[in-house]
Amino acid sequence: MGRIVLLEEHVANKIAAGEVVERPASIVKELVENSIDAGSTRIEISITDGGLTEITVFDNGGGMDPDDAVLAFARHATSKIRNAADLENILTLGFRGEALPSIAAVSRLSLKTRAAGAVSGTGLVIEGGNTLNSFETGSPQGTLISIRELFFNTPARKKHMKTPNVEAGHVSDVVNKFAMGYPEISFQLKSNGRILLKTPVNGSLRDSIAAVYGAETARDMLILEAANDTARLWGYIGKPSLSRASRSHQTVYINGRFVKNRIISEAVEKAYHGMLMTGRYPVFVIKIALNPSEVDVNVHPAKTEVRLLDSLDLPEFITEAVSGALCSNRLIPPAAVPKKVFPGIKPVKPVQEVWEPKFNRPAPEPDSVSEMPEVDYCSASEAATSVPYVAAETETAARDMVADSDPGFPWLRPIGQINSTFIAAQGVDGMYLIDQHAAHERILYEKFMDRPEEFIVSEQLLFPVTLELTHQEVQVLNENILILADLGFVVEHFGGDSFLIRAIPAAVVKNGAKEIFLDLLDYFSRNRYTISGKALKEKMLIIMACKSAIKANDRLGMPEIESLLNQLADTRNPYTCPHGRPTLVHFSGYDLEKMFKRVL
């Protein structure tokens, strides 16, 4: 007799659960996806002890009729695709028909559901995959699913759960992503009875971002919008000042589905190049609409990874769009107005908001790109062939841009120098302080980048500069002598540990040659095997810009100040130095009045 047997369905379900149902957060993800696919406008999630004791998800979507409610728990039972060809054109979040049977196999589940228009609803109780009860019941339209005692029959898996707090954190991450992915749906998340998240019905994307990251962050995000023949891109990107130490605040959606995709993240980050310090990552919420046949969503059990066709040239398109959004926006950080001017005086009120979150307001009119047709896109029959662009949406987006977009580098009338380090200037609204070194660095950096042939050419020194190097420096020099020559440095051995710099790049100020050269050697030794020629050249330009720029404590006359401000205004990114520090800060008239208690 053969030894191979087909597994019983409930065993197969437990195995499938190992893939789909990793932890409470993955259950929440599957259930919320179902609620979204069912057309809900309100979804309420509640967890007890991080979801380990109980998870409930309630929605007001289409519900299920009695037969479907039972069938939904059969393996590979789905209403979302009919045949293999449909896999090429997936417009729903679910499609495998695996989630419900897998979840039911490892928990005690109860369900109540009523289809739109039906007089009564259906109740089901399933424990460890066995249906204990099914009955007719009263129920609001929609579906309520409750999962208790997760993994009660798979103790090995249960052992792998973290503390309730950690699990609750994962659940919260998942719900946050849905909330920003679907601003038109009102989400509520409760953990042990406490509300962790609540978003408005028909809110804008900015409202959802505010609910998740706070109003202040939402205010500091810039609108992003672009389209080409194959893709449409929209969302919000953080000003460089919002950067974080990790990628935790980066969210990407493709056709309404949250995805993790390194290539896309890097394409966005590339646009921030030269604006962020190393080790800092931009914040963004980006949505991409693609023809579904260009995206393979069936590559990962949790459907969080997608495969994209290379031919889309998506990374280049993204980098360009984000660069455009960054360049066309004024990125000057407002001065942090001191909360307390003198001890004993009560703190001033926060700065008045331009954009306000819409919570507690009755059904607000759409005001941002979030109302763009994610849903239309998914349901439109022509979706497969075209990327939709509706005039009205462009209009609403344009309206939102008014608050955001850049009127250009501010007009500035210099007043003078402060501590020989900062330049004070009057603008249209209030005062600007400019860091003279950072500003000059930016000017020189762009000059060097734009015309390397002019600045990297080698220039013979009239009087060679002598260098005494350490043993290690000599080694690094020998390894990189050709690269250095390529950059314009001609160096000669002079006996022992002594060397002569005979020629330097034209951009280097003569008396800075030694310092720049030593900085470069230091940079080589720290990044020995990791740098590419291009990165190196850029690094050198940054070092050269830094060393050649005017310094703090350099006295400047008015003509020099004026010329500096004019040149800064002409740069592509006048708002940060090449290391990512701000070149200027702004004290608005309102800030100044507040500091002097003229307004409260």
Which residues of this protein are in contact with Mg ion, per CB under 5 A? 34, 94, 99
C-beta of 35 vs 251, nearer to Mg ion: 35
Q: Which residues contact 280 (CB under 8 A, 6 or more apart)?
A: 243, 244, 245, 580
The nearest distance, CB 113 to ligand ADP, in angstroms, is 7
Considering CB distances under 5 to 8 angstroms, the limit depending on partner class, which of ligand ADP, Mg ion, none binds residue 63? Answer: ligand ADP
A 10 A CB-CB count for 10 gives 14
Considering CB distances under 5 to 8 angstroms, the limit depending on partner class, which of Mg ion, ligand ADP, none binds residue 435? Answer: none
Considering CB distances under 5 to 8 angstroms, the limit depending on partner class, which of Mg ion, ligand ADP, none binds residue 272? Answer: none
Q: How far apart are CA 428 and CA 426, in angstroms?
A: 7
C-beta of 94 vs 203, nearer to Mg ion: 94
C-beta of 38 vs 372, nearer to Mg ion: 38
The nearest distance, CB 352 to ligand ADP, in angstroms, is 42
C-beta of 99 vs 383, nearer to Mg ion: 99
What SS3 string covers 33-90?
HHHHHCCCCEEEEEEEHHHCCEEEEEECCCCCCHHHHHHCCCCCCCCCCCCHHHHHHC
Output b/e per residue, 83-98; b: 16+ Cβ within 10 A: eeeeeeebbbbbbbbb
C-beta of 26 vs 548, nearer to ligand ADP: 26
User: Nearest residue to ligand ADP, using CB?
Assistant: 94
Considering CB distances under 5 to 8 angstroms, the limit depending on partner class, which of Mg ion, ligand ADP, none binds residue 143? Answer: ligand ADP
Q: Which amino acid is at 568?
A: L
Q: How far apart are CA 79 and CA 72, in angstroms?
A: 9
Considering CB distances under 5 to 8 angstroms, the limit depending on partner class, which of Mg ion, ligand ADP, none binds residue 270? Answer: none
C-beta of 63 vs 452, nearer to ligand ADP: 63
A 10 A CB-CB count for 478 gives 9
The nearest distance, CB 92 to Mg ion, in angstroms, is 8
The nearest distance, CB 79 to ligand ADP, in angstroms, is 3
Considering CB distances under 5 to 8 angstroms, the limit depending on partner class, which of ligand ADP, Mg ion, none binds residue 225? Answer: none
Q: Which two tokens stand for residue 121?
A: 């609803």
C-beta of 304 vs 567, nearer to Mg ion: 304
C-beta of 175 vs 568, nearer to Mg ion: 175
The nearest distance, CB 6 to ligand ADP, in angstroms, is 21
The nearest distance, CB 299 to ligand ADP, in angstroms, is 15
Considering CB distances under 5 to 8 angstroms, the limit depending on partner class, which of Mg ion, ligand ADP, none binds residue 513? Answer: none
Considering CB distances under 5 to 8 angstroms, the limit depending on partner class, which of ligand ADP, Mg ion, none binds residue 26? Answer: none
Q: Which residues contact 91 (CB under 8 A, 6 or more apart)?
A: 255, 292, 378, 379, 383
Cβ neighbourhood burial of 348 (10 Å; 0-12, 13-18, 19+) = middle
Considering CB distances under 5 to 8 angstroms, the limit depending on partner class, which of ligand ADP, Mg ion, none binds residue 439? Answer: none
Considering CB distances under 5 to 8 angstroms, the limit depending on partner class, which of Mg ion, ligand ADP, none binds residue 128? Answer: none
Tokens 């042990």 correspond to 192
Q: How far apart are CA 580 and CA 197, in angstroms?
A: 33
The nearest distance, CB 131 to ligand ADP, in angstroms, is 15
Residue of 563, 462, 551 whose CA lies nearest to 515 = 551
Rounded to the nearest 5 degrees, what angle is found at the Cα of 328, between the Cα atoms of 322 and 330?
A: 110
Q: How far apart are CA 178 and CA 21, in angstroms?
A: 18
C-beta of 18 vs 315, nearer to Mg ion: 18
Considering CB distances under 5 to 8 angstroms, the limit depending on partner class, which of Mg ion, ligand ADP, none binds residue 573? Answer: none
Q: Which two tokens stand for residue 110?
A: 């109860």
Displacement of CA 50 from its chain's centroid (Å):
26
User: Nearest residue to Mg ion, using CB?
Assistant: 94
Considering CB distances under 5 to 8 angstroms, the limit depending on partner class, which of ligand ADP, Mg ion, none binds residue 580? Answer: none
Considering CB distances under 5 to 8 angstroms, the limit depending on partner class, which of Mg ion, ligand ADP, none binds residue 64? Answer: ligand ADP
H-type helices in 260-357, by residue range? 262-271, 314-327
The nearest distance, CB 94 to Mg ion, in angstroms, is 3
C-beta of 35 vs 154, nearer to ligand ADP: 35
A 10 A CB-CB count for 68 gives 14
The nearest distance, CB 111 to ligand ADP, in angstroms, is 9
**What residue ranges bind ligand ADP (CB under 6 A)?**
30, 34-35, 38, 59, 61-64, 72, 77-80, 94-100, 143
C-beta of 13 vs 261, nearer to ligand ADP: 13
DSSP string, 176-208: HHHHHH-TTSEEEEEETTEEEEE--TT--HHHH
Q: How far apart are CA 442 and CA 545, in angstroms?
A: 8
Q: How far apart are CA 112 and CA 93, in angstroms?
A: 22
The nearest distance, CB 125 to Mg ion, in angstroms, is 20
The nearest distance, CB 34 to Mg ion, in angstroms, is 4
Strands of the sheet with 490-493, listed across from one edge: 458-468, 498-505, 490-493
Helices (H) and strands (E) in the chain, counts: 19, 22
- By the 8 A CB rule, do 290 and 230 touch? yes
C-beta of 182 vs 523, nearer to ligand ADP: 182
C-beta of 145 vs 290, nearer to ligand ADP: 145
The nearest distance, CB 93 to Mg ion, in angstroms, is 7
The nearest distance, CB 349 to Mg ion, in angstroms, is 47
- DSSP symbol at 495: S
Considering CB distances under 5 to 8 angstroms, the limit depending on partner class, which of ligand ADP, Mg ion, none binds residue 80? Answer: ligand ADP
C-beta of 143 vs 208, nearer to ligand ADP: 143
SS3 26: helix
The nearest distance, CB 38 to ligand ADP, in angstroms, is 3
- Sign, CA dihedral 59-62-67-71, equals negative
